[in-house]
Structures are given as structure tokens and as C-alpha cells.
Structure 1
């Protein structure tokens, strides 16, 4: 197999580096010319909690990839959600009937990819790892999470098993027959983490206070109710258990919920990366986030089902206001969300 990573930032850079380190045939592709030039000249450096290692890996700009042509085998798409359509359309001429595109992105981008190249050439993946692009040629890898890959129809095919085997170079990647269960679960957990990006605080410090947690639970519940309506059974990962937060018709067990949050906070405190990539986009890079492409489709689906998406919509509105400079990144944002949650759900 030959792996072509479209997007060599946090996720694509880390996973691609580990595969290349293990001897797999890997090419990293990115629109960031300075990043690609640094990789070509010096290799890709991955800074972990324990060490920094450098991998000699093939790297190309998008224009170089397209100009050189050739056929692509396994494409790993690791671009921001808002760039999915353009990235896939760019490489369509390089795909064969046996090519496959694996989405290692946030949101429900598998649907966008499948609309362009067909479900038979699309593989979904759930990736939960904490990493940040630091500078050209350097990515900070803040903590190992989880990875699941799956055919969109849940089948256990030869190709999915072979990709799983190769991904062991990164870590414990597993095949699942319910990839959408992980994707929707991550959307719910991700909505919570998105809310933490509205303040200039560590994720763990925002999730830790008991009096913040009811609001976070209601945020996740809004998303999980949409998943229920579309017929998806969300699955747990890395101390996150969606059925504890939203027990579907049963009363919440707040002891269990608080124990879950305590475990999540404890895990987050072990990571080198302490704030979300969304926070970094807003506070460091001063650029638009991919949040509208994560939460927007969820809100749209929820409203079609007649569900109340007030909190999710408010978080999206806050992020857009932060992007546009119409809101400050302060603790008052969390207090505003808590007040809204109490008004709607208490």
C-alpha cells in the first residue's frame, strides 16, 4: 500500500510520521509550502511528552502532487472540514477504481467525500488524539487517544483489515462496524470541548468545576438526541461514555456522570496539549475554525426533527463572534451558556 496524506498538520502529520518511521510508503501533501519545504529539507519533527524524533518522509505541495500526476492508492484526508470538498475534487483525476479515501477529520465529512467519489471508495475513521502544528517541520503530539476505522456500510473487508494492520505503526487502531457511532459520539464530546474554547483556560480547568457540568451535559445531550433520531448508536471512547450523559428515557445518574468527568479531567491533565485546536485557531492563528462545519449540520438535522438545539446554536454563534472579533474570550462566555442551560432545561 502507498499512503498519501492530504493535510500534514496535527493529525495527518502525526499518523503519517509514525507510518513512515515504520517503513511504510508515505507521502505528505499540504498547501503550507513552508511546512513542506521544511520537511523536504530536514524531515518532520514530532515532539512528544517523552522525546522529539525526526522522520525522513516524502513531502509535496498540492501543486507538486497535481503537476506530477500518477495514480493514488490509499489517500488519508486530514484537512479541516471546510476544505473537504475542494481537497477531494482536486485529487479525483488521480484516483482509480481501486483507490480509497480515508477521512481522518472531525465532523461528518465522510458524507461529503462519498457524494463526490462514491461510498465504495470512502472509508470513515474516528481519530481522537491531541496534537498541534507548531511551526514548519514541527508538530507537537500531546497525547495518544484512540482510532477506529470502518467501511460506511459496516462491512469487514480485506482492505479495511489491511489498513488496520498498517496503522498499528501509530498505535492501537481498530476496525469497527459502527463508524458513525464513534463519529456522532465525538460530535457530542467535541461540542463540549468547543465550549471550552470560548475561554482562555485549559480544557481540564473548565471541565473540572462541578457547577459547569450540567451545562456541558445538556450540550452533549442535544447532539446525542439528534444521533438517536438518525438511528445511530453512539459508542464510548477514552473515558467518554455517551450513554451515561444521555441515558435515553432514564434519569441521569449524576454520581456516574461526575465520575466520568473526573476521569476525563484526569486524562486531559496528562496531555501535553492542554487547549483545543479550536482555541489555537482563534487565539494563536487568528483564523476561522471548522466549528460551523461540525455543529452546523447537527443543528440543521436537529431542527428538522423538531429538537431544541439552543445551546449548540449558542456555542456556534459564540465561536463565529470570536472569529469576527465581536466577542472576547472570557469566563463570562461559560457563565452565559450556564444561564441559558438553566433557562432551557432546569
Structure 2
């Protein structure tokens, strides 16, 4: 069915076939929902174990939101063939350039890559495939890759899509309708970078909770962490302000109150974030899982470096981001362990 749809650029329903490039937490969860909705989906992943399990047993989604399995078409990148009209890129930020170069030969000249990733990866993708073939996206649902063929879908969250130049188009409207098959409350926006900057600010608390060895909820509510939490968010929002970007709100996060140092508003936003994350069975951040469970490199540097460079261009200091990167690299290299001592080395920056 996949090859037949490839020839005509549509599946049996007339819809565009979808390639999921990176079939872990984000890509696997979205792709499985599309398969269940009847869409023609091809999963691509570098993990041979994951691909083989998807081929033999299908892809299993489990958790409080949904529990189901679906039969899947799955390949490793070296097995890929053909030309495809729509590729949802869902790899970690630090794999963006390599993955985009891998997928480039398989993207149709009139096709599009949608960055369903954490981080502002659209500029990197644009440099490789051309900006006219890139669609921006923002995702904030909670999911984890558990093992080959199995993904935890721990909680619903914002899903937003938009052209990177803010225009409306037929293709982005069609992609929006496709994403609604996964998240019915998905948003079509003319300001995707507003959402990406908002996620970048919120994402700092996910990264710092990891080196503190704290759950997301404990980090949000813990007074020990508060000065770092607020300082990190401020660094990102100040850079956004210098870029004349107004970060968008989502899932309880209200960037404006943090930027204004509105104590009452910040308390309300943090409580909303606590309540939102408390509903999820994903208790810790993906960065924490990479550092503690999977013992592998994180995408912290890849996500924060673009923001640091923008800040530097505007003469804005980012001491907390700078130190966080050093500490994460130390943990990745085995020179430190996550926990109170490592977090204190970050907190010292605020003293």
C-alpha cells in the first residue's frame, strides 16, 4: 500500500501519505494515531531493534491517554527508497542536521518537512532542504520511548503547526487536519516562532529538573529550585524580546507574567503547570531519561545554543544557560552525577 500511494502521492482515501522520520516518543505517538485513523504511514528510525519490532509485532502505545497497537510499515534510513510528499521529522534536536541530510533525497521537489521536534530546528532544516519546503510545528504532549516497539503516551499537550513565514497555505491547512487526527485540539497559527520561543522558555525547567534529579512536578513546586527556574526562563524570554518575538502561552505556561516579573501571575502559572504535569504518568523529563536511564547524549546543547547565540548578538548575558550546558556535558561524560550537588553548581550562578 505504501509503494502504491507513493506513485500517486495519495493514499486510498485521497490523503497524502506520511513518513515519520524518527519513530520514538514524538514520532511514534503521532504516527500510530495516524495509522489508527486510516492514514498511510511509513515509519523510519535508526534503531534496528525498534524497526524490527515494529515490523514483527507492530507499534504499541500505552498509558492513561490510550492503549492500542497498530501494524506498521517500518524501515531504517538505509532501506529508504522513492520520493515522498510529506515527512514529519521527529528526531532529537542534535540529530536534526544529519537526519535532514539523510531524508533529503527522498523528499519530493514539491514536498514538505514538518519539524515535530523540541527546539527551534526549522532554520537548520531550511538551510538543507530550502525554506519553501519547511513547515514549523510545536508539540508539548508527554511521551517516552520505553523499549523497541513500545511508547508511553503519558499526557496530552499542545500541538501547533504553521508556515515559518506566517502565511496561510493549502498545504499547511492539510497538515493541520492531519495532526488533528492525533490531537483534536491542535492549533493552526500564523506565528509558529511565538510558540517555539514559548516552549524554549518552558523547556528550561525540564532540562534543569533533570540535573537536579527531580520530577517535573517537584521541580516546579520546590522552593530550592525557584531562583534557577525563574532565572532560566527570564534568560530565554529576554532574548525573545530582543528578537521582537512575543512568546505564546500553552498548557498553563504564561510567558508574559514571567517577563514582567508579575509575582501573582507567576504563582498562578506555576500552579497551572503543576496541575498539568501532575496528570501525566510521565513524571520526569526526556533529558532526565537520557541522562539517568539511557546514559546517552542529550539534545540540551542543540536546543540552547541557538538561543545563546541570539542573546549574544543582542549583548544579553546567559550565565545560567552557559553553566547548565557545562554541567549537562559533565554528566554525559561521567564526570558528575545528577542530584543536589550538581544542581547547587548551577544555583551558585544566581548567588
TM-based fold match above 0.5? yes
Q: What aligned pairs does 1:196-215 form with structure 2 within 5 A after superposition?
A: 196-215=209-228
When structure 1 is superposed on structure 2, of 1-10 and 317-326 the one drifting more is 317-326
Segments of 5+ residues of structure 2 without an aligned counterpart are 1-15
Q: What aligned pairs does 1:1-346 form with structure 2 within 5 A after superposition?
A: 1-49=16-64, 51-65=66-80, 69-171=81-183, 172-247=185-260, 252-341=261-350, 343=351
Runs of 4+ in 1 over 6 A off after TM superposition: none
> What TM-score, normalized to structure 1?
0.94
- Paired residues of 2:145 and 2:151 also in contact (CA < 8 A): yes
How far apart, CA to CA, are the structure 2 residues paired with 1:274 and 1:211? Answer: 19
When structure 1 is superposed on structure 2, of 19-28 and 203-212 the one drifting more is 203-212
How far apart, CA to CA, are the structure 2 residues paired with 1:214 and 1:263? Answer: 19
How far apart, CA to CA, are the structure 1 residues paired with 2:254 and 2:165? Answer: 24
Q: CA deviation at 1:51?
A: 4.6
SS at match of 1:145: coil
How far apart, CA to CA, are the structure 2 residues paired with 1:300 and 1:326? Answer: 26
How far apart, CA to CA, are the structure 2 residues paired with 1:116 and 1:212? Answer: 39
Q: CA deviation at 1:219?
A: 0.8
How far apart, CA to CA, are the structure 2 residues paired with 1:217 and 1:51? Answer: 34
How far apart, CA to CA, are the structure 1 residues paired with 2:225 and 2:108? Answer: 50
How far apart, CA to CA, are the structure 2 residues paired with 1:299 and 1:168? Answer: 33
Instruction: Report Cα offsets for 1:128-182 as digits up to 9, x if no partner.
Output: 0111111110001110001100101101101111111121110122111000001
How far apart, CA to CA, are the structure 2 residues paired with 1:321 and 1:84? Answer: 23
How far apart, CA to CA, are the structure 2 residues paired with 1:192 and 1:167? Answer: 27
When structure 1 is superposed on structure 2, of 172-181 and 299-308 the one drifting more is 299-308
Q: CA deviation at 1:38?
A: 0.7
How far apart, CA to CA, are the structure 1 residues paired with 2:46 and 2:346? Answer: 36
